[in-house]
């Protein structure tokens, strides 16, 4: 299935033109996107570092996860909305960009993983749970979200 016509249509949409043609629009949207990524990374890292036993040991894991969940979800929604706007301004570039496809795959995998496997593990874990499993879940979470961030940055330096 050739997605190029869809990507071209998105780039020529009103949103794509507005972002591309409005002075500072791309920079402002990208700033919001990066702030949301930082908030997402921060909330994920708080819980993952706790699962690794590297911080906030006085806090119960489940409690920490519940407290960070709303911020994490808000950050993800903001990241996706701002990402759609950024993408719409350069759809054809993204179509030909390997880092874009890596980021989209990693974002899908990280989101599904975070809201299913990781969440289930965190919410059912007792603070004396087997550390090996918690650590594996945390390391995979950090790796997935790092891939999202790194490949996103790579998009800016490619093509």
Examine the pLDDT at 128 and tell me if it is beyond 80: no
How is 88-156 classified by DSSP, letter by letter? HHTHHHHHT-HHHHHHHHHHHHHHHHIIIIIHHHHHH--TTS-HHHHHHHHHHHHHHHHHHHHHHHHHH
| Extents of the domains making up the chain | 4-157
Residue whose pair of structure tokens reads 């919001």 in the numeric block: 32
The alpha carbon of 156 is separated from its chain's Cα centroid by a whole number of angstroms, namely 16
pLDDT in tens, 1-29: 799 999 999 999 999 999 999 989 999 99
Examine the pLDDT at 156 and tell me if it is beyond 80: no
Q: Cβ(145)–Cβ(48) under 8 Å?
A: no
Q: Cβ(54)–Cβ(138) under 8 Å?
A: no
pLDDT in tens, 36-83: 999 999 999 999 999 998 888 888 889 999 999 999 999 999 999 999
Examine the pLDDT at 129 and tell me if it is beyond 80: no
Examine the pLDDT at 110 and tell me if it is beyond 90: yes
Q: What is the pLDDT of residue 88?
A: 95
Give the tokens for residue 40: 């997402």
- φ, ψ (nearest 5 deg) of residue 42: -65, -45
Q: What is the pTM of this model?
A: 0.88
Q: What is the mean pLDDT of the chain?
A: 91
Q: What is the pLDDT of residue 159?
A: 58
């Amino acid at each position: 299935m050739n997605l190029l016509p869809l990507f071209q249509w998105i780039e020529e949409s009103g949103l794509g033109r507005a972002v591309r043609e409005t002075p500072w629009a791309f920079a402002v949207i990208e700033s919001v996107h990066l702030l949301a990524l930082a908030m997402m990374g921060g909330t994920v890292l708080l819980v993952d570092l706790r699962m690794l036993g590297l911080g906030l040991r006085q806090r119960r894991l489940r409690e920490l996860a519940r407290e960070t969940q709303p911020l994490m979800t808000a950050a993800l929604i903001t990241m996706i909305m701002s990402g759609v706007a950024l993408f719409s301004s350069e759809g054809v570039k993204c179509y030909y960009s390997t880092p874009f496809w890596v980021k989209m795959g990693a974002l899908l995998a990280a989101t599904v993983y975070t809201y299913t496997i990781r969440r289930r593990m965190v919410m059912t874990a007792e603070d004396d749970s087997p550390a090996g499993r918690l650590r594996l879940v945390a390391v995979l979470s950090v790796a997935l979200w790092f891939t999202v961030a790194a490949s996103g940055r790579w998009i800016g330096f490619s093509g």
